Amino acid sequence: MGTRLEGKVALVTGGARGMGEAEARRFCAEGAKVVIADVLDDIGQTVAADLGADAAYVHLDVSSEDDWATAVAATVERFGAPTVLVNNAGIARYETIDRMPKEEVVAHLSVNVVGPWLGIKSVFEPMRRAGGGSIINIGSTNSVRGAAGATAYATSKHAVAGLTKSAAVELGPFGIRVNMVLPGGVATPMIADAAPWFGPAPLDNSPTEWSLPLKRWGMPEDIAAMVLFLASDESAYSTGAEFVVDGGMTADHPFKPAAAWVEHREALLAESRD
């Protein structure tokens, strides 16, 4: 049991599964009181019960301002004012522009952009009165990159960058930091659910076929480690910033790798295997 979040009260949206669940578990292990907020009530309640008395579950559709009022009030009543907010809940559905109904774009903006905006608005007053806090918005590599089929998702995740920077400027004077994490390729139900777009078993890619420098899917715990750092006072001088956790995905350009580099790399890898 660590103490990096001792005394913190955290609200984690989308905390029932995937990386939100990993964040909730890591936060509790580091001494925080954690409220898991989601629309998957049964799963969220099970995770909270598993974490014990330092965790609670609340139903929250992040696109509903009324739900936010209820969730923040429940957090204050159970554990005190939230001093950490993780705007993690998100949706990702892929389709080409010509086949995507307008409602899909609106849904992505509603959950992925209006949701975090409402979250920041809803925690501002209790966080300010508590003396400050840390807000972490979960963006994506699609906050800085586009992709075919991702016009709704990437548009929404680019908007999270603007929200993060503007909120950081506005809330900094009140001791509230706002940062963004950009995960890339993390093995969660979201990726599994994207099978209709990416193929029958998107998580089964053989790492050796990846151009990704670290040659593996990210795990929810990889992201939780960065979110923990940003939630803690260790990141006290960071705000309005973007923290990439993507196995090197956005570091490379999309050209075919140079033959000389591939030849040398493979020789060294063969030597490492010997």
Ligand X SMILES: NC(=O)c1ccc[n+]([C@@H]2O[C@H](COP(=O)([O-])OP(=O)(O)OC[C@H]3O[C@@H](n4cnc5c(N)ncnc54)[C@H](O)[C@@H]3O)[C@@H](O)[C@H]2O)c1
Residues that bind ligand X (CB under 6 A): 13-14, 16-20, 38-40, 60-63, 88-92, 111, 138, 140, 183-186, 188-191
- What is the rounded CA–CA span in Å between residue 143 and residue 135? 17
Q: Residue 3: which residues within 8 A CB-CB, separation 6 or more?
A: 30, 31
CB of 62 to ligand X, least distance (A): 4
CB of 64 to ligand X, least distance (A): 8
- What is the rounded CA–CA span in Å between residue 218 and residue 260? 28
Q: Is 94 an annotated catalytic residue? A: no
Name which of 163, 72, 158, 39 is nearest 108 in CA terms: 158
Sign of the alpha-carbon torsion through 13, 16, 18, 24: positive
Helix axes 151-171, 115-129, angle to 10 degrees: 20
- What is the rounded CA–CA span in Å between residue 181 and residue 43? 24
Residue nearer to ligand X on the CB measure, 28 or 224: 224
Active-site position among 57, 94, 153, 237: 153
Look at residue 83 and give its three-state secondary structure.
coil
The H or E element that residue 60 is part of is none
The H or E element that residue 217 is part of is none
Tell me which residues are annotated as active site: 153
